């Protein structure tokens, strides 16, 4: 079973919009995603948390090697183990942890770079909510020589807000392109 949120996050193609509206929407979404990445990579985690909706599901399922016949089982499902399955409160706890003087896994801090590319935008049934898929390459350099590279697809539901950023993240799913996760931990955000 695919995680249930994933279908909901496919959205509706923007073909019904005129070109100018599509370009504007694309621009708005991309700018939001770039600025969000900047907050993470510049370690402004408290401001980053402000972009997370109060009802967010922050989800990163496992990925497995399955036969073609059993591809429906490739991702762990909604009630299986996952890399992340957080709500707003637990995301706040994560930031609280890494800000502690004993938050060793991020002290000294990791050097992250969130590369956001191939952004695909779609509208949804809710005019205030936009679906955004993006391909991600997350680089982490840590301590003297540690390097981690995490590649995957991010699926966001972005809800319009009356803020400087213009959106909040109502749901985030990250589909990693690894079965055995090749890094020692994920002490950063995706």
Partner 1 sequence: MINCSYDQLFDPFVSLRGRLSQINEIVHCTIYGSNRRNTKDYIFRVAIYNAPDGVWHTPCLPALLNVNDKRKERQVSDSALKSAAWPASEIQTLVNEGAGLVDPRIYTDQELYSLEMERIFGRSWLFLAHESQFKKAGDFVTTYMGDDPIIVVKQRDGSIKAFLNQCRHRGMRICRHDGGNARSFTCSYHGWAYDIAGKLVNVPYEKEAYGCIDKEGWSPRQVTRIETYKGLIFGNWDADAPSLADYLGEATYYMDVLLDRVPGGTELIGGINKWVIPCNWKFAAEQFCSDMYHVPSSHLSGMIAQAPADLPPEALQVSGEGAQFRALWGGHGCGFVLGDGGYALMAVSSGQAVADYWHKDSIAAAEAHLGELRARKMSGMHMTVFPNLSFLPCNNTMRVWHPRGPGEIEVWSFAIVAKEASPEAKEAQRLVCLRTFSPSGILEQDDAENWIEVQEVLRGHQAKKTHFNVQMGLGRDLKADDRFPGDMDALFSENAARGFYAQWLRMMTEDDWSSLAPEVLADAAE
Interacting residues toward partner 1 by CB under 8 A: 60-62, 64-67, 69-70, 73, 76-77, 79-86, 90, 93-94, 96-98, 100-105, 143-144, 146, 179-187
CB closer to partner 1 out of 14 and 187: 187
CA distances from 129 to 11, 29, 119, 138, 172 (A): 9, 11, 16, 25, 13
In sequence order, the 6+-apart residues with CB closer than 8 A to the CB of 159 are: 53, 128, 129, 167, 168, 169, 170
Nearer to partner 1, 12 or 109 (CB): 109
Would you say 27 or 104 has its CB closer to partner 1?
A: 104
Q: How far is the CB of 177 from partner 1 (least distance, A)?
A: 14
C-beta of residue 16 within 8 angstroms of C-beta of residue 121: no
Comparison of 35 and 88: residue with beta carbon closer to partner 1: 88
Distance in angstroms (rounded) separating the CA atoms of residues 80 and 127: 32
Tell me how far, at minimum, the Cβ of 25 lies from partner 1, in Å: 32
> Cα dist. 89→55, 76, 98, 170 in Å?
10, 23, 15, 14
* Least distance CB 109 / partner 1 (angstroms): 12
Please report how close the Cβ of residue 152 comes to partner 1 at its closest, in angstroms: 14
């Amino acid at each position: 079973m695919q995680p249930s949120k994933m279908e909901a996050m496919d959205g509706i193609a923007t073909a019904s919009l005129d070109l100018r509206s599509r370009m504007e929407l694309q621009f708005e979404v991309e700018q939001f995603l770039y600025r969000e990445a900047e907050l993470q990579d510049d370690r402004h985690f408290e401001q980053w948390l402000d972009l997370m909706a109060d009802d967010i599901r922050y989800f990163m399922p496992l990925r497995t090697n399955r036969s073609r016949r059993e591809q429906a089982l490739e991702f762990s499902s909604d009630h299986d183990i996952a890399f992340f399955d957080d709500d707003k409160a637990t995301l706040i706890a994560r930031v609280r942890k890494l800000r502690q003087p004993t938050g060793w896994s991020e002290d000294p801090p990791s050097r992250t770079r969130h590369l956001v590319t191939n952004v695909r935008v779609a509208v949804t049934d809710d005019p205030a909510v936009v679906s955004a898929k993006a391909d991600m390459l997350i680089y982490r350099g840590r301590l003297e020589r540690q390097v981690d590279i995490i590649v995957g697809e991010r699926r966001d539901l972005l809800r319009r807000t009356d803020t400087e950023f213009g959106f909040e993240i109502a749901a985030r799913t990250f589909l990693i392109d690894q079965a055995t996760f090749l890094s020692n931990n994920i002490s950063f955000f995706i």
